Amino acid sequence: MDEHAGPFGNRSGPRSRTGCLTCRGKKVKCDETRPVCLRCARLSRTCDWTQPPRKTPSRRPFRPRVRGSYPSPNPATPCPCPCPPQASESSACGLELDSHCHEAIALYQTLFAVSVDTKNPAYSLPAIILTKAASAPSVMNMVLAIGHQLSTTHSARKHPQEHTTGTRSLVAVDHYCQALQLLGEATVSTPGALLDLDVILATVWLMAVYEQRFGEQPIPAITAHFRGVAAALKMVNLGELARTAPDGAGDYCRTSSSSSTATVTATTPELSCLGARILLFLVNMDARVACRGFRGILNTALAESVGDVPWPRVLVAVHEKSYPLHQVAWGDDYPTAEILYDIEHKSAFDLLRDTSQLRLLIAELSWTRDSEQKLAKLAAIHVKIQALRRQHAELFIISERMLDSDQNLSPGLATTLCWVIPHYHLAALHLLRIATATDHHVTDNQNRRATCSQSILQLAMRGFQREGAPAIVRIALPLFLAGLETCDAFRQQWAVDRLRELSRFGPRYEASALLLKELQARRLSGARTEQDSDLLQSILSEQVLM
Q: CA neighbours within 13 Å on the CB side: how many for 254?
A: 8
Is 166 within 8 Å of 234 (Cβ atoms)? no
pLDDT at site 236: 82
Q: How far is CA 231 from CA 3, 193, 196, 222, 302, in A?
A: 52, 14, 14, 14, 9
Look at residue 215 in the predicted model and tell me its pLDDT. Answer: 85
Residue type, 268: T
Measured CA to CA, the distance from residue 349 to residue 144 in angstroms comes to 28
Question: Which amino acid, one-letter code, is at 366?
Answer: S
Residue 193's pLDDT is 55
Question: What is the structure's pLDDT at 540?
Answer: 54
The DSSP string of 44-84 is T-----SPPPPP-SSPPPP-----S----SSPPPPPPPP--
Q: Which of 425, 488, 476, 430 lies closest to 455 in space, CA to CA? A: 425
| pLDDT for residue 40 | 82
Q: Where are the domains of the chain?
A: 77-189, 193-334, 343-542
CB 498 within 8 A of CB 254: no
- Residue 493, pLDDT score: 96
Cβ-Cβ contacts under 8 Å for 172 (sequence gap 6 or more) = 144, 145, 146, 147, 148, 149, 152, 214
Position 15 scores a pLDDT of: 55
- For the chain, 546 residues long, give each residue's pLDDT as a single digit of tens: 444 444 334 444 555 567 888 888 887 888 888 778 888 877 878 788 776 655 444 444 333 333 333 333 333 333 334 444 333 333 356 788 888 899 999 999 999 999 999 999 999 999 999 999 988 999 999 999 999 999 988 766 655 555 555 677 899 999 999 999 999 888 776 665 567 899 999 999 999 999 989 988 888 889 899 999 998 888 887 877 777 655 544 442 333 333 333 444 445 668 899 999 999 999 999 988 887 666 788 998 888 888 888 888 899 999 999 999 999 999 999 999 999 999 999 999 999 999 998 988 888 887 788 888 888 888 899 999 999 999 999 999 999 888 877 667 788 899 999 999 999 999 999 898 888 877 655 667 788 899 999 999 999 999 999 899 999 999 999 999 999 899 999 999 999 999 999 988 888 888 888 888 988 888 787 665 444 555 555 555 555 565
- For residue 518, how many other CB atoms are within 10 A of its CB? 11
According to the model, what pLDDT value does residue 160 have?
Answer: 55
Distance CA 83, CA 256 (A): 46
Number of C-alpha atoms within 13 angstroms, CB side, residue 168?
Answer: 23
Distance CA 317, CA 302 (A): 14
Burial (CB count within 10 angstroms: exposed 0-12, middle 13-18, buried 19+), residue 78: middle
| pLDDT of 490 | 95
